[in-house]
Amino acid sequence: MTLWRMEIARLLRTRRIVALGFVYLFFGFVGPLTARYMEQIIARFGGGMAVDVPPPTPADGILQFASNAQQIGLLVVLVVAAGALAFDARPEIGLFLRTRVRSVARLLAPRYVVTTVAAGVAFVLGTLAAWYETAVLIGPLPAGRMIAGMAYGVLYLAFAVAVVALATAVMRGRLAAVAVAIIALLTLPILGLLPAVEPWLPSRLVGAQVALAAGDAPADYVRAAIVSVLASAALLAVSTVLLRRRET
């Protein structure tokens, strides 16, 4: 058993990989379906209300997936990440690890990488499901921009997991860390109200997938992607320093 195998085992044995995969694949399959049959759904469950729904576009299929993936999917990622990264949440487990591994970075690296990869793979699988179903039910999507959208989505998840890493360095408890991470991630779109700042913020990547499917250029999100990568590295570095200083 190594620290890397331990993290993979954590995902598999605690069914966290199932939760991640299920939430993204579920919305991946249901999102385009909802977009395609929105008019019929409203007619069936709208209490007789007549609504004139325009014919869905392929971007609508991705929008239905992304709107759920960015909320419920992201919440699941944050919870899974906190479960892995908050190794001091149970003091005895923190003591076991800290008295055997003097380098906090060595403890943090497998937890961050395995969680990010798992979340990224789940997100990509969900997107592929939504892409396939949209193509079948509504119409084709631009392949290049869809791939760019997936890449930007994965980068945002990597940033979100890094935010959780910092949150666990500030708060010992898992729930508290999730709460801090949510507050931090919700603060970014508020900062994004400043037009000069918005193109640089990682939160810009949240809407990239839908906007790219609708016709935006991938280059519009490069600045936010670069900042996300740099910010993730900085967050992990600060987390390492704070966790090293923490007394158990």
Neighbouring residues of 33: CB distance < 8 A, sequence distance ≥ 6: 133, 137
How far, in Å, are 98, 100, 164, 238 from residue 235 at the CA level?
A: 21, 24, 9, 5
Least distance in angstroms from the C-beta of 243 to another protein: 13
Least distance in angstroms from the C-beta of 93 to another protein: 6
3-state secondary structure of 90: coil
Q: Under the rule (CB under 8 A), what is the footprint of another protein?
A: 1-3, 6, 9-10, 13-14, 90-93, 95-96, 98-102, 247-248
The answer to whether 231 and 202 are in contact (CB under 8 A) is yes
Least distance in angstroms from the C-beta of 238 to another protein: 20
Residue among 223 and 246 whose Cβ is closer to another protein? 246
| Residue among 215, 84, 209 at smallest CA distance from 155 | 209
Residue among 172 and 223 whose Cβ is closer to another protein? 172
Residue among 9 and 18 whose Cβ is closer to another protein? 9
Residue among 44 and 102 whose Cβ is closer to another protein? 102
Least distance in angstroms from the C-beta of 131 to another protein: 34
What is the token pair recorded at 167? Answer: 């949150």
